[in-house]
């Protein structure tokens, strides 16, 4: 598969990306760079379906941070959503409304007092003490996943480790049996493909998966209600949430708790193995691992952009943004802004100022699961680089799928090589 043809007009390339076309998902960063170099903002589309993309670091940070001027409801409301609904067949419209209505209960899709209340409940899963206590169990789980892997033959690292580790970690967090992991992953893939989409087809698959997902979570909640204890599910049952809000919270933790981490680990490994000097340096100096994770978050940006709804008229450079317009704050472009990160397309595990990267957002909607994702990625990259200094990509043909917001690798063939004791 090849990337988008350079000769296509920019708006057509951007339409292809926002539609989740696989060839567009392959290499979106060059397109983001072109948008950034053209100006402060880019107007895409016309009428109700119009969106404004901001790609400069300071503008992206402003949109993500300023909840007073930029509402978090862009995925469930506004002219762009209204326009998208008019283009859908009846069954697609039903699916779209079902999925968006349920996902409107996610903490990440709420504003104001509702956001504070939902986020407070979700925080129970991600307290610093709970995250710190997970380090040793994560290391033990990674040991079990790596032990049976071939060191000579290519393996699909996503199937064997990159999706399985974060999913089993979040399953343990909520007391979900490991044998249910594949099922949850399948539902999550369908839900992820619909995230940020404005065409109807992905929502048909998401609707069926979400129905099964909700049923599963309802059973999880019911089992917890029947027993007493201090497990995390029981603690969340004590939060001030409706049943739909509680179910949505568990769905989001199970979905978001592994989907973006899988992309960070798999796409991050592609970057590391593509720079053998950096890979060997990490293996020799494990103290580089925390900085390596930040650099890979910057380069990979597991969530490519964040959607916001302009609450008031505003302006980026010469571009006027009217109230009610959808604004796409492109995290992946901000993280490669050369004004903030010199030589932004180069992997540098010793890069300074990485605290500025915006992969997990910024401000009131900063990703709650960020500390857990950082911990998992650090352990994986530490252990892999130490144990397999000769690891290499077994194929340079990468295929991406998902959505423009949450792109993911289909597979990742890796040859681990001789294992160091």
86: closest CA among 44, 43, 48? Answer: 48
CB distance 135 to 379 below 8 Å? yes
Return mean pLDDT, the chain. Answer: 89
| Confidence bin at 197 (pLDDT 50/70/90) | confident
Residues of the chain above pLDDT 70, percent: 96
Which of 12-21, 52-61, 140-149, 172-181 shows the lowest mean pLDDT across its residues? 172-181
Mean per-residue pLDDT for 148-160?
A: 95
Q: What is the structure's pLDDT at 140?
A: 97
The rounded distance, in Å, linking the Cα atoms of 197 and 75 is 9
Helix (H, G, I), strand (E, B) or coil at 349: coil
- Concatenating the DSSP letter of every residue in 289-316 gives HHHHHHHHHHHH-SS--EEEEESS-EEE
Q: How confident is the model at residue 375 (pLDDT cuts 50, 70, 90)?
A: very high
| Average pLDDT of the residues in 2-29 | 84
- Whose CA is closest to 138, among 408, 414, 378? 378
Rounded to whole angstroms, the maximal C-alpha distance in the chain is: 63
**Which pLDDT band holds residue 288 (cuts at 50, 70, 90)?**
very high
How far apart are alpha carbons 211 and 400 in whole angstroms? 26
**Cβ-proximal residues to 215 (8 Å cutoff; 6+ apart), any chain:** none
Q: Answer yes or no: CATH 1.10.630.10 is held by domain 35-415.
A: yes
Band of pLDDT at residue 251, cut at 50, 70 and 90: confident
More confident of the two residues 403 and 54: 54
Measured CA angle at 190 (ends 49, 299), to 5 deg: 75
The answer to whether residue 285 scores a pLDDT higher than 90 is yes
Mean pLDDT of all residues in 193-206: 84
The length of the chain is 421
Residue 46's contacts (CB-CB under 8 Å, 6 or more residues apart) are none
The DSSP string of 214-277 is HHHHHHHHHHHHTS-S-SHHHHHHTSS--HHHHHHHHHHHHHHHHHHHHHHHHHHHHHHHTSHH
Indicate whether this model's pTM tops 0.85: yes
CA dist 54 and 66 (Å) reads: 14
* Predicted confidence (pLDDT) at residue 2 exceeds the cutoff of 50: no
Confidence class for position 1, pLDDT limits 50, 70, 90: very low
* Domain spans in the chain, listed from the N-terminal domain onward: 35-415
Q: What is the pLDDT of residues 24-38, one digit of tens each?
A: 999 999 999 999 999
Do residues 316 and 59 lie in contact, with contact meaning Cβ atoms separated by under 8 Å? yes
Placement of tokens 């996503």 in the chain: 158
Token pair, residue 209, equals 């998966």
Structure tokens at 386: 């130490």
> pLDDT tens digits, residue range 316-367?
999 999 998 999 999 999 999 999 999 999 999 999 999 999 999 988 888 8
| Confidence at residue 265, expressed as pLDDT on a 0 to 100 scale | 98
> What pLDDT is attached to residue 247?
80
Give me 391's structure tokens. Answer: 């690891």
> Using 50, 70 and 90 to split pLDDT, how confident is the model at 157?
very high
Does pLDDT of 5 surpass 60? no
Of 62-66, 108-112, 117-121, the least confident: 108-112
**pLDDT at 383 > cutoff 50:** yes
Q: Assess contact for 414 and 155: CB atoms under 8 A.
A: yes
At residue 78, the pLDDT reads 74
Which whole number is the average pLDDT over 55-64? 97
Q: How confident is the model at residue 172 (pLDDT cuts 50, 70, 90)?
A: confident
Strands 51-54, 326-329: pairing kind: parallel
Is the pLDDT at 228 greater than 60? The verdict is: no
User: Is the pLDDT at 293 greater than 80, yes or no?
Assistant: yes
Compute the average pLDDT of residues 377-396: 96
Alpha-carbon gap, residue 139 to 127, rounded angstroms: 19
For 343, residues 6+ apart whose C-beta sits below 8 A from its C-beta are none
Higher-scoring residue by pLDDT: 214, 76: 214
pLDDT of 256: 74
Kindly give, in sequence order, each residue whose CB lies less than 8 Å from that of residue 206, ignoring residues fewer than 6 positions away.
95, 99, 190, 191, 193, 194
What single-letter DSSP state applies at residue 131?
H
Mean pLDDT over 240-269 rounds to: 86
State which of 197-201, 231-235, 240-244, 406-410 shows the largest mean pLDDT: 406-410
Quick one: which of 364, 354, 253, 369 has its CA closest to 297? 354
């Amino acid at each position: 598969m090849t990337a988008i043809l350079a000769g296509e007009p920019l708006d057509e390339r951007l339409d292809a990306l926002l539609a989740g076309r696989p060839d567009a998902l392959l290499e979106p960063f060059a397109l983001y760079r072109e948008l950034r170099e053209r100006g402060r903002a880019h107007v895409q589309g016309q009428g109700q379906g119009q969106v404004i993309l901001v790609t400069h670091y300071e503008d992206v940070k402003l949109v993500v941070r300023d909840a007073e001027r930029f509402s978090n409801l862009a995925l469930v409301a506004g002219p762009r959503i209204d326009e998208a609904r008019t283009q859908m067949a009846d069954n697609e419209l039903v699916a779209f409304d079902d999925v968006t209505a349920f996902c409107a209960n996610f903490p990440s899709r709420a504003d104001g007092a509702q956001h504070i209340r939902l986020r407070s409940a979700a925080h129970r899963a991600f307290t610093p003490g709970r995250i710190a206590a997970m380090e040793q169990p994560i290391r033990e789980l990674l040991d079990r996943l790596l032990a049976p892997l071939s060191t000579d033959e290519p393996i699909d690292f996503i199937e064997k480790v990159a999706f399985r580790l974060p999913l089993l970690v979040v399953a343990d967090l909520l007391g979900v049996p490991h044998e249910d992991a594949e099922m949850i992953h399948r539902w999550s893939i369908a839900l992820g493909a619909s995230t940020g989409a404005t065409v109807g087809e992905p929502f048909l698959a998401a609707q069926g998966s979400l129905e099964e997902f909700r049923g599963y979570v309802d059973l999880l909640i019911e089992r917890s209600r029947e027993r007493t204890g201090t497990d995390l599910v029981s603690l969340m049952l004590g939060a001030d949430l409706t049943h739909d809000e509680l179910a949505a919270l568990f769905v989001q933790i199970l979905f978001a708790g592994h989907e973006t981490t899988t992309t960070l680990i798999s796409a991050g490994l592609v970057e590391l193995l593509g720079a053998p000097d950096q890979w060997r340096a990490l293996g020799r100096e494990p103290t580089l691992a925390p900085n390596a994770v930040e650099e890979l978050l910057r380069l990979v940006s597991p969530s490519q952009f964040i959607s916001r709804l302009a609450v008031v008229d505003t302006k980026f450079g010469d571009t006027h943004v009217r109230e009610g317009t959808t604004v796409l704050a492109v995290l992946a472009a901000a993280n490669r802004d050369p004004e903030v990160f010199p030589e932004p397309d180069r992997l540098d595990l010793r890069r300074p100022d990485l605290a500025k990267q915006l992969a997990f957002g910024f401000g009131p909607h900063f990703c709650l699961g960020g500390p857990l994702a950082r911990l998992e990625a650090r352990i994986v990259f530490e252990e892999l680089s130490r144990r397999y200094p000769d690891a290499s990509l077994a194929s340079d043909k990468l295929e991406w799928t998902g959505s423009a917001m949450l792109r993911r690798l289909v597979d990742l063939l890796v040859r681990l090589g001789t294992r160091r004791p």
